[in-house]
Amino acid sequence: MTISHQSPAGIEAPQSPSAPENGSVPPLLEARNLSCERDDRVLFHNLQLSLRAGGCLQIAGGNGSGKTTLLRILCGLHDSYQGDILWRGHDRAEQAEAFAGDLLYFGHRVGVNKILTPLENLRWAAGLQAQVEERQLLQALAELGLRGFEDSPCYTLSAGQQQRVSLARLRLSRASLWVLDEPFTTLDVDAVAQLESTLQKHAESGGAVLVTTHHPLKLPSLERRVLGGSEGPS
């Protein structure tokens, strides 16, 4: 799971956007008339998407429907598209620095250095952000079921445990927008429940979640959008 994390760390909840003078709060993230083709095939056309603070949006669809491509476009990691993407009501390109600072993106690949231990991986991630106390790192790992594995090299851990190391970074993030591409892969039942709870708490605290998954989510605030497609890589 590749992780692109440009926000400062900490455990404080993200702040909800303040309302403009007219009292209307724009969506955190909005796509207007978004279209994309790949290999002469239309993935989506004139797609409209809106995600507000407190919202959880699942992008569903078969393999090859463009789910990963859509997430990468929305995060500014893929530029072969037509349409407009807005961040807090403004052109995302004009808000690039603010957007990057408020985004946490999880891609498909496990975002850990397998030579390092889980604790060292979190120290490295925290070192790129604001200062985080050691106890917060240990607590994040413990909450993901990694107590006792803090000092074990990640290459000795199972795929599911390595995924948990990546997901422990969610517990340290202050980013408002979480974009997660298949985060439930390789997780066991307990870890799935923990992650669902983390996503729901993030939304309840004023954040927003955009996720692709084949897992049937059980989130009260969940909305679901389905992309059409056929078998093949997304």
Walk me through the domains of the chain, giving residue ranges and CATH numbers.
Answer: 3-13+27-227 (3.40.50.300)
Tokens of 14: 């993200």
* pLDDT (0 to 100) of residue 39: 86
Condensed to tens digits (0 to 9), the pLDDT of residues 61-108 reads: 988 889 999 999 999 999 999 999 999 999 999 999 999 999 999 887
Mean pLDDT within 150-158:
95
Longest dimension (CA), the chain: 56
Pairwise CA distance, residues 146 & 158, whole Å: 11
Q: Over 80: is that where the pLDDT of 227 sits? A: yes
Q: Predicted confidence band at 132 (pLDDT cuts at 50, 70, 90)?
A: confident
Q: Would you state the pLDDT for residue 3? A: 42
Overall average pLDDT of the 45-53 stretch: 95
| Residue 39 CB neighbours (<10 A) | 6
Q: What is the mean pLDDT of residues 136-156?
A: 92
Which pLDDT belongs to residue 9? Answer: 35
Q: In the chain, how many H helices and how many E strands?
A: 6, 10
**Among residues of the chain, what percentage have pLDDT more than 90?**
56
Return d(Cα 44, Cα 34) in angstroms, integer: 7
Mean pLDDT, range 114-119, rounded to an integer: 94
Q: Please report how many Cα atoms fall inside a 13 Å half-sphere around the Cα of residue 182, on the Cβ side.
A: 19
Q: Which among 8, 4, 11, 67 is positioned nearest to 36, based on CA atoms? A: 67
